[in-house]
Amino acid sequence: MSLLVTGGLGFIGSNFILHVLKTTDLEIVNVDAEFFGSSHQNLSEIENSKNYTFVKGDITNRKLMDELISKCDTIINFAAQSHVDRSISDANPFLVSNIRGVFTILDILKEKKKKLIQISTDEVYGTILEGSAKEKDRFNPSSPYSATKASAELLINSYVTTYDLDVIITRCTNNYGQHQFVEKLIPKIIGLCRQDRKIPIYGNGKSIRDWIHVQDHCEAIMTVLEKGKSGESYNISASQEIDNITIAKKILKLLDKQEDRLQFGEERPGEDIRYSLDSTKIRNELGWKPKISFDGGLENTVNWYMSHDDKWWNCIPEKTYSSTPWKKSD
């Protein structure tokens, strides 16, 4: 079997490619536009693998995608603009990549009839004040980012119904682990600690996220690839809900830093209070379950980032460390 992985130079996509090439004999073609947050460093250890091919390109490029899809068995679409802060300051790239890109793939699949696994997000459900979101719960996205991901899902559902496409959707909670770009919460805190700088916390730091190690997520996607039912969606969660301030304090403790470097600031516009997914379906129907505890995974993640030299960190733009990265003038 051959896989076309889109967005495979990003955080989750690169970890998935590494996982597949280490555990299977599958062939992978990775198409990535090399936008902000993509890095060939993420896949340096397998760049010469006989089962791996890289193609630079945008998933909105109809001609290119037609050629690549013709040669594969399954497409796994990780390609997306994914940072909420950036979507607040400029939503247009998110509409192009997250909606137009998905449309391009779907329109090709009307003729090619290949399998597509769409990597979506728990953010399509919006704030979950009580309980945990199930696959059939209504969407209520709060940010431009999550709205584009929800829109892509609705577009997919229409194509599945109208053109009988073979598509499965996964929605995962917040990922963490190695190779995550530094604009995200956990590596951002680690990076600021390395520089002995203040750590900005949005609002009161009480926003709750449901965390999963990226390796557990990759195994879940492989389970869906092997056992998932066409036309279905699957929530993926390790049921490890933790608020942002607690995570910051855990990282400070691991790095032997004092909590007085925490700096509370503005609340991000449209901030969701709590995310929580019910992953009973994938656990019971497909037999997947997470393996990595949050504390153990966090310690390994901190150690991985701290072991990387200054060359890796020096490529990070200063704005990434801003306390209000959604503001264009900041």
Task: List, for residues 57-111, the tens digit of each pLDDT value.
Answer: 999 999 999 999 999 999 999 999 887 878 888 899 899 999 999 999 999 999 9
Residues of the chain with pLDDT > 90, as a percent, come to 81
At 270 the pLDDT is 83
183 — pLDDT class (breaks 50, 70, 90):
confident
At 226 the pLDDT is 98
326 — pLDDT class (breaks 50, 70, 90):
confident
* pLDDT mean over 46-65: 96
* pLDDT mean over 214-223: 98
Ranges 18-27, 70-79, 177-186: which has the least confidence:
177-186
* pLDDT mean over 26-49: 92
pLDDT at 209 over 50: yes
At 122 the pLDDT is 97
Cα Dmax for the chain:
59
156-166: per-residue pLDDT in tens?
A: 999 999 999 99
* pLDDT mean over 133-156: 96
Please give the positions annotated as active site: 122-123, 145
Beta bridge mates, 167:
116
Of the candidates 213, 219, 218, the one whose C-alpha atom is nearest the C-alpha of residue 239 is 213
Q: What is the CATH number of domain 2-176+213-236?
A: 3.40.50.720
Helices and strands, counts by H and E, the chain: 12, 12
pLDDT at 39 over 50: yes
Radius of gyration of the chain (CA): 19
243-291: per-residue pLDDT in tens?
A: 999 999 999 999 999 999 999 988 888 889 999 999 999 999 999 999 9
Query: Mapping DSSP to helix (H, G, I), strand (E, B) and coil, where does residue 17 land?
Result: helix
Domains 2-176+213-236 and 185-208+240-274+292-321 share a fold: no
Please tell me the distance from the alpha carbon of residue 245 to that of residue 264, in angstroms, as a whole number. Answer: 10
Of the candidates 262, 156, 171, the one whose C-alpha atom is nearest the C-alpha of residue 210 is 171
**Fold exhibited by the domain 185-208+240-274+292-321:** UDP-galactose 4-epimerase; domain 1 (3.90.25)
* pLDDT mean over 301-323: 75
Please tell me the distance from the alpha carbon of residue 104 to that of residue 60, in angstroms, as a whole number. Answer: 6
Residue predicted with more confidence, 236 or 38: 236
223 — pLDDT class (breaks 50, 70, 90):
very high
Of the candidates 181, 93, 180, the one whose C-alpha atom is nearest the C-alpha of residue 144 is 93
Taking CB atoms within 8 Å and a gap of at least 24, the contacts of 322-329 are 322/200, 323/200, 323/263, 323/265, 323/266, 324/200, 324/265, 324/266, 325/85, 325/86, 325/89, 325/183, 326/84, 326/85, 326/86, 326/88, 326/89, 326/268, 326/269, 327/89, 328/89, 328/90
* pLDDT mean over 109-134: 97
**pLDDT averaged over every residue in the chain:** 93
At 330 the pLDDT is 44
pLDDT at 119 over 70: yes
Q: Domain limits of the chain?
A: 2-176+213-236, 185-208+240-274+292-321
